[in-house]
Chains A and B, each alone.
Chain A
Amino acid sequence: MPENITTYIPDNAVRKGYRTLFMDMADEVKSSRWLVWQLFLGDFKAIYKQSIFGILWILFVPLLTLGTFILLNNAGIFKAGNIPLPYPLFALLGMAFWQLFSTGLTATTNSLVSAGTMIRKINFPREALVVASMGQAVVAFLIQIVAVVVLFMAYRVTPFWTTLLVPLTLIPILLLTLGIGFILSLANGVARDIGRGTPVILTFLMLATPILYSTPKGGILGTLTRYNPLYHLVTVPRDLIIVGRIDSPYGYSLSVLLSVILFFACWIVFHLTEKRIAERI
């Protein structure tokens, strides 16, 4: 019979070195895929079971935000700038990609805290909770895409062939969200301020990022936008659909690189410190 001996010592993960750490992480990816799926299914079913509108709730928030901006735009209070297609299409598309990030970040930030008792009682890979909570954002995204397709047909707009590349551009968005989510979920476990602060900051970021308006060329916002990785990650997929090209490939590549590095760095930090959370949550 193969013996698997486990030892626990103070500062366990740190003292055992990086080799063990990476092997552990690889093991967990392999062994917890089904766990992630089950956690996701469980959450998903639980959220929509005792609800009349069920999954339709996912559409309400973006549609309401959108409606507000369409009204503002219509009244001339708010200028979306020079956009190549009907505003509702432009905005809904942008919102879909933005929400993948924002809903995902909110969900991951709260993932550990809302699993509270489980974390204090059962030993299982905590990464699974964070990754599974991302699932809600993916579902929301897919539903919004269905709405986008319907809208495209209604306006009789044909997307560019580069739309086929869009699935690839989702990967860096997901990695960035997960990376930041790993850290924020830990931080929220220690201090609840993080969970409260995240939506506030996200609202600010949404307004500061050209999602509901066209890319500003000048001013402070123009400069900020150029250095805003979220702008690159979120607007490139939209540009691929509506204009068929990437405006600043250099900025985009850097943003992708950043999200990949951030993801791995944050995952390592999470893995090194996840046990500390059970003590504090």
Chain B
Amino acid sequence: MDNDIAIKVENVSKKFCKSLKRSMFYGISDIGKNALGLSSHSESLRNGEFWAVDDVSFEVRKGETLGIIGPNGSGKSTLLKMLNGIFWPDKGRITVKGKVGALIEIGAGFHPMLTGRENIYVNAAILGMTKKEVDEKFDDIVKFADIGDFLDSPVKFYSSGMYVRLGFAIAVHCEPEILLVDEILSVGDRNFQKKSIERMKEIISNDKSVIFVSHNLLAVRALCQRAIWLDNNKMRAEGSADGVVSKYEQFMDSVIANADANKLAALDQRQSGLIKFTDVQILDENGIRTKNIEFKKYACIRAWYNATERISDPNFRFLIRNPEGQPNNIIAPSGVYQNSLVSHIEPGEGYVDCIIEKIPLMPGNYFVRLVLTSIDYLVFYTRTLYDVPFSISYPTGQDKDTKPFLIHDSQVWIPAKIEYGRQERDKTVW
């Protein structure tokens, strides 16, 4: 194996069984065969089995952070568990160089009855630390966890934040060379998530390799150099974290924007109805409502909403379609970047502006459609019911024979700003 490589995954597959009873009998048969020293012939599917991870290959270099993204049930966690050695692959080969540590479901080994102090010892032992190591690092762990007086209280009295901090603190003090992280940053509010991302950045030193499974696309962008996207248990894309996340966002945008009820069912819709779009306006640089923007000029898409509850993780997507193009083909989703985020929505009426300094669309007719999901695409809040038309016109005095492009420079347009305003909607503007 190349000296520089920390993890090598070659054509790895893993199968699971949907039926509990069948799974039981397969389990007996597999264990029986292995106990007799025989192969379980895992490479073929038996009745009722399916591939939970199907032919996945990638490498992680030393010092590199790899993100794994994909919708729920796409095989991310199963893959991570195989890397951790919790179970074996059914096909392929995994090679891991160095001590592996896992931040998989923080606090999985916590005893609710035991105090924080007692749990530190039990949990650290489970994670493979020796008594000497724990004694040496005990104070650091406590300091890192920042649980104050609660150190000697049973962890069942901890807030969820404290619980996670303690688990996090123990896990990172095991000092692994390879760190596997699964969804731990999805706990708590965005403030806590930000703090955890900062912590993660500190922990990820140069020679440490990290595999980071997350729905939190911001975190994947912020922490990872490369990413893979699993969809339906297969690899769908691999490459730079930015590129893969953008592809994933575009895909999710088109799923949500075009979805019939069936497809939307994959997302959590329990929170739809908390907020509704009441109007979408196109404004020019003077704030005057218009239907036409001049090529490469300032444009603002203002979306009015009415929210009944606070929304803590809004992800506004302004999707632009071209009527001549393929039906429902999203040509320009707005990329989400940390600096262009609306951090939260307060209940009541308000608006969100998507401001583009020089709109990069070629002259023609377009529609804009608005979608609001959670930042991790797991929750669907709302979308506009109808598309709002607008057009881009040739600048006055320019030759009209310019070859029309759909998009001026890039596939993804990044709004200069997404602004969040709170005011009673002025009904007379229209």
Interface residues of A, Cβ cutoff 8 Å to B: 3-15, 34-35, 37-39, 41-43, 45-46, 49-50, 117-124, 186, 189-191, 269, 272-273, 275-276, 278-280
Contact = CB atoms under 8 A, between A and B. Distances in A.
A34 B125 contact: yes
Given A7-B96, A46-B111, A273-B31, A39 B125 contact: yes
Nearest to B90: A10
Given A38-B121, A49-B154, A9 B88 contact: yes
Nearest to B171: A122
CB-based closest 4 A-B pairs: A38-B125, A280-B27, A42-B122, A121-B108
Given A121-B104, A124-B127, 14 more contacts: A5-B1, A5-B95, A7-B96, A10-B43, A42-B119, A45-B118, A117-B105, A117-B109, A121-B109, A124-B128, A189-B27, A273-B30, A276-B31, A279-B16
B122 A39 contact: yes
22 contacts: A3-B97, A9-B88, A9-B92, A10-B42, A11-B34, A14-B34, A14-B38, A15-B39, A35-B126, A39-B126, A41-B118, A42-B114, A45-B114, A45-B118, A49-B154, A118-B109, A120-B81, A122-B84, A122-B102, A276-B31, A278-B86, A280-B23
B24 A275 contact: no
Nearest to A8: B94
Given A190-B28, A273-B35, A42 B111 contact: yes
Interface string B312-326: 000000000000000
Contacts of B119: 42
A40 B131 CA distance: 15
A268 to B, nearest CB: 8
Given A273-B31, A275-B88, A4 B111 contact: no
Interface residues of B, number: 55
B349 to A, nearest CB: 44
B28 A117 contact: no
Contacts of B1: 5
Contact of B131 (A34, A39, A45, A121): A34
A128 to B, nearest CB: 8
B259 interface: no
A122 B95 contact: no
A190 B125 contact: no
B227 to A, nearest CB: 23
B83 to A, nearest CB: 8
B291 interface: no
Nearest to A189: B27
A13 B91 CA distance: 15
Interface of B: 1, 16, 23-24, 27-28, 30-31, 34-35, 37-40, 42-43, 81-82, 84-100, 102, 104-105, 108-109, 111-114, 118-119, 121-122, 125-128, 130-131, 154
A8 B108 CA distance: 24
B108 A191 contact: no
Contacts of A121: 81, 86, 102, 104-105, 108-109
A37 B35 CA distance: 28
B6 to A, nearest CB: 10
B170 to A, nearest CB: 11
A66 to B, nearest CB: 30
B111 A123 contact: no
B81 A272 contact: no
B118 A269 contact: no
A123 B85 contact: yes
A50 B113 contact: yes
B93 A8 contact: yes
Contacts of B84: 122-123
A8 B43 contact: no
Nearest to B80: A121
A13 B102 CA distance: 22
B122 A38 contact: yes
A42 B118 contact: yes
Contacts of A122: 84, 86, 102, 104, 108-109, 126-127
B187 to A, nearest CB: 15
Contacts of B100: 6, 123
Contacts of B31: 186, 190, 273, 276
Contacts of B81: 120-121, 278
B19 to A, nearest CB: 12
Contacts of A123: 84-86, 100, 102
B94 A10 contact: no
B85 A6 contact: yes
Contact of A8 (B85, B118, B125): B85
Contacts of A191: 24, 28
A9 B89 contact: yes
A5 B131 CA distance: 25
A11 B42 contact: yes
A10 B44 CA distance: 12
A235 B30 CA distance: 39
A11 B35 contact: no
A272 B126 contact: no
B35 to A, nearest CB: 4
Contact of B108 (A35, A117, A269): A117
A9 B93 contact: yes
B39 to A, nearest CB: 5
B177 to A, nearest CB: 9
Contacts of B118: 41-42, 45
